[in-house]
Amino acid sequence: MKLLRYGEMGRERAGLLDEQGRIRALPESLGDLAGDRLTPQGLAEIAALDSNALPVVEGHPRLGSCVARPGKFICIGLNYRAHAAESNLPIPAEPVVFGKWSSAVVGPNDDVEIPRGSEKTDWEVELGVVIGTRGRYLTEAEALSHVAGYCVVHDVSERAFQMERGGTWDKGKGCDTFGPTGPWLVTADEVGDPQNLRLWLEVDGKRYQDSSTADMIFTVAELVSYVSQFCTLEPGDIISTGTPEGVGLGQKPPVYLRAGQTVKLGVEKLGEQTQRMVSAG
């Protein structure tokens, strides 16, 4: 299934994408795409519906984040071999973990704000993993059974805030609008092997990133297991699994985003995003 949220910001409703590419409204009685709705039981209730009997949503409504109110937005850094190389950094012995704040989460096609004082706002296409079953101290063999599905994440990053201002990476990663998520959550059964997905990103039509999740240093199963050693994973939590080579910081000379530019990105089987870069008010 491809699950999504549509409507005005803050007033989104849950829906699904049918086989003809039309949005179908899910019954309001099922609630939003958050928490228990993303558990195996919650997803089974949606799967049991006759999608052809659900009302078609007319027009082209705005899409919100495909997960409502993620409890945790956990991100992984330097998780592609070629990206570590372009960053002139060694392969990490363990996953690099940081977080995004909830105000970073926006819809897949919403505007992305370049923060005040930013000169080094950068792009990062990533595979997002959505947790569906609560788990702690998971083994790698157990990990994928706790995944509800996958989505596209744009891990927008301000490099000066991230690396030149002291402290942790978080303040360069968690700025408002820095976490476009969606367009839809694709259930794990439909995606199959998460280590064989192509992902790409373009700025104003120029392709900078074009790689595969096969280049990951730590697999999705390894990451889910690893993160669960430090916190309990809950349904609706998101793990963004790192970006491949081709970020702005890695260009020679570096290239950064400016207001007025358009960024397009996607992950195989998971859809595409398009964002306009704007200056923060």
Domains of the chain: 2-53 (no CATH), 73-279 (3.90.850.10)
Residue pLDDT, tens place only, 118-161: 999 999 999 999 999 999 999 999 999 999 999 999 999 999 99
At residue 51 the predicted structure's pLDDT band, cuts being 50, 70 and 90, is very high
In this structure, the strands spanning 105-106 and 179-180 are parallel
Determine the pLDDT at residue 86: 86
Whole-model pTM: value is 0.97
Answer left, alpha or beta for residue 143, where phi above 0 means left and psi between -120 and 50 means alpha: alpha
Q: What is the CA radius of gyration of the chain?
A: 18
Question: Residue 157: CB partners within 8 Å, gap ≥ 6?
Answer: 121, 122, 123, 124, 172, 173, 178, 247
Tens digit of each residue's pLDDT (9 = 90 or more) over 78-88: 999 988 888 88
